[in-house]
Amino acid sequence: MGTIPRQMLINRVTITFAVILALIVGWNAYVAANNDGVLTGQVVDSGGRAVGGAKVTITARTVAHDLEIGSIVSGDDGVFRFEKHGQYNLVLTAEKDGVGKSAPRHIRLYFRNQDFALETPLVLSTGSTNAQGS
């Protein structure tokens, strides 16, 4: 028989595997498009004013330990931008002498190096211990 019998092409097994394959390909395409590792956000003070020159630190969080990865300084508009952060589970803290420290912001991503933009800014304050939601 030259042609593949129809029943071999259209049945639950092949369709299931085809769907799985499509999902895998689709997911990987999505990941590839969004994994530049760009992490952006803004630092503000307790009054809501942008804080420039604040040091923002990334700490990698795994089940075993926390490890500081690196830090960056926020620009004049309070916006900071990490590139190729390489993490999937991290904590952000911001501080500036004289203005205060932010509560640690725990961010969980779906894949390593996922592009992510903070929804709410990091708020610097003195002596605040409330953890803010991400």
Partner 1 sequence: MRSRNADWPVHLILIPVSILMLVPFYWVLKTSITGENIFAYPPSILPSDPHLFNYVEAWYSIPFATYFINSILVVFLAIVANILIDAAAGYALTFHFRGKRLIMLIYLSCMMIPFQATIIPAYLITVNLGLVNTLLGIALPHFSHIILIFIFKASFDALPRSLPEAARMDGVPEWRILLQVMLPLARPAIATSVVLTFIWSWNDFLWPLIVVRDDDVSTLPLGLARFLSYFEDTTAALYAFVVMALVPGILVFFLAQRQFIEGLTAGARKG
Binding region for partner 1 (CB under 8 A) out of 25-33, 39-47, 95-103, 104-112: 104-112
Rounded to the nearest angstrom, the gap between the alpha carbon of residue 67 and the centroid of all alpha carbons in its chain is: 16
Q: Which is nearer to partner 1, 8 or 73 (CB)?
A: 8
Work out how close the CB of 95 gets to partner 1 at its nearest, in angstroms, rounded to a whole number: 26
Q: Which of 88, 93, 128, 132 binds partner 1 (CB under 8 A)?
A: 88
Q: Does 11 bind partner 1 (CB under 8 A)?
A: yes
What is the token pair recorded at 35? 């994994």
Looking at residue 113, the DSSP 8-state letter turns out to be T
Locus of tokens 């500036």 = 96
Q: Does 110 bind partner 1 (CB under 8 A)?
A: yes
Q: Which of 49, 81, 84, 108 binds partner 1 (CB under 8 A)?
A: 108
The three-state DSSP-derived secondary structure of 24-71 is: HHHHHHHHHHCCCCCEEEEEEECCCCECCCCEEEEEEECCCCEEEEEE
Work out how close the CB of 91 gets to partner 1 at its nearest, in angstroms, rounded to a whole number: 14
Q: Does 4 bind partner 1 (CB under 8 A)?
A: no
Residue type for 56, please?
A: V
